[in-house]
Amino acid sequence: MKTLVLVVNRLAWFIPTLLGLLAIVFFISHVIPADPAAFVAGENASPATIAEIRARLGLDQPLHIQFWRYIQSIFSGEMGRSIYTGRPVAEDLLSRLPATLELALAAVVVASIIGVPLGVLSALRRNSMLDHGLRVVTIAGLAIASFWFAILLQLFFSMRLGITPLHGRIEGWGPEQITGFYTIDALILRDTEVLFDALRHMILPVATLALPATATIVRFTRAGVLNALQSNYVLYETAMGYPRRLVVWKYVLRNALIGTVTQIGLIFGILLAGAVVVEAVFDWPGLGMFAVNSILNSDYNAVMGFTLIAGAMFIVVNLLVDILHGMIDPRETR
């Protein structure tokens, strides 16, 4: 029952949150001194032609009227047509969504597999050389700019060693579209060549995204384990003579990982919405690359569509995290 109330409360804020996000992005994007009509008309277009295109696109109307028309189109199931691609924005977003999801999921899985054990070890060996070393590495991981780290990986592993592709999602054509995830589609089709090629192309962008995610998970896991180790129930189990390994894995981790699970969910949402720079560096054909091209071309409909889908995914991910949080520790369900 508490979970149902939680879901209803979160969904009640779903539309108002998206409307507020769209309003902010809409007015900021229209303040930028760029003219989509001039882009559509071309470099040699006359002022009259540009004015005609501006009127046809509705860009000559006051901002509040443009925003109201856009909201009406959203509720009618339309996101408009992209100036950059000439296709409906919804089709462009849906065609690129699997690429971003595949990248973000892989980065979260890698970060979780590496970050949770390292966080536990760091807490169990508090103030040791391992602990100090991991703290330095995690701080560095959070401080390094993603685009700079991505370029370093390209220079070393692709251009100097030649062991990973420089950019792109796959060599040549991808596998037959089933789910849109190249690795999953290759597994379904039992095409090992495509599978390994897709995995090779994922190595560098996943590593770039996973670095700050791993650092965050290590820090939150370490803090959660340290807090759990000092709790009364752990002290009691230790005093009763239970083996330390049993106490850690059975009693400590379940309570210590509550904050970590929340952070993993938040990290996944951030990666979905914030993979713009990484996708641009690696020429990854996902939502981020689409957003970059849309911004450079002042493609308002595409920018708004990306904002809408990124905001919706972030809200849904947060809702799923809250539900999972309550399943792990029912006391936390509000």
Q: List pLDDT tens digits, range 209-239.
A: 999 999 999 998 888 888 887 777 777 667 7
Q: Which of 304, 223, 318, 306 is nearest to 270 (CA)?
A: 318
Count structural domains, the chain. Answer: 1
**pLDDT for 177-189, tens place per residue?**
888 899 999 999 8
**pLDDT for 117-160, tens place per residue?**
999 888 888 888 988 998 898 998 888 888 899 999 999 999 99
Residue 59 lies in a domain: no
Helix-, strand-, coil-residue percentages of the chain, each rounded to 5: 80, 0, 20
- Host domain of residue 240: 96-287+311-332
Residue 27 lies in a domain: no
Residue 53 lies in a domain: no
Residue 102 lies in a domain: yes
Burial 240-259 (b: 16+ CB within 10 A, else e): eeeeeeebbeebbbebbbbe
- What pTM was computed for the model? 0.81
Residue 130 lies in a domain: yes
Residue 303 lies in a domain: no
Q: Identify each DSSP E strand in the chain by its residue range.
A: none
Q: Would you state the pLDDT for residue 334?
A: 46
Residue 44 lies in a domain: no
| Tokens found for residue 273 | 């919405």
Find the CATH number of the domain harbouring 244.
1.10.3720.10
Residues in the chain, pLDDT under 70: 1-3, 6, 31-35, 38-43, 236-237, 251, 273-274, 326-334
Spatial contact of 333 and 2, defined as CB atoms under 8 Å apart: yes
Residue 109 lies in a domain: yes
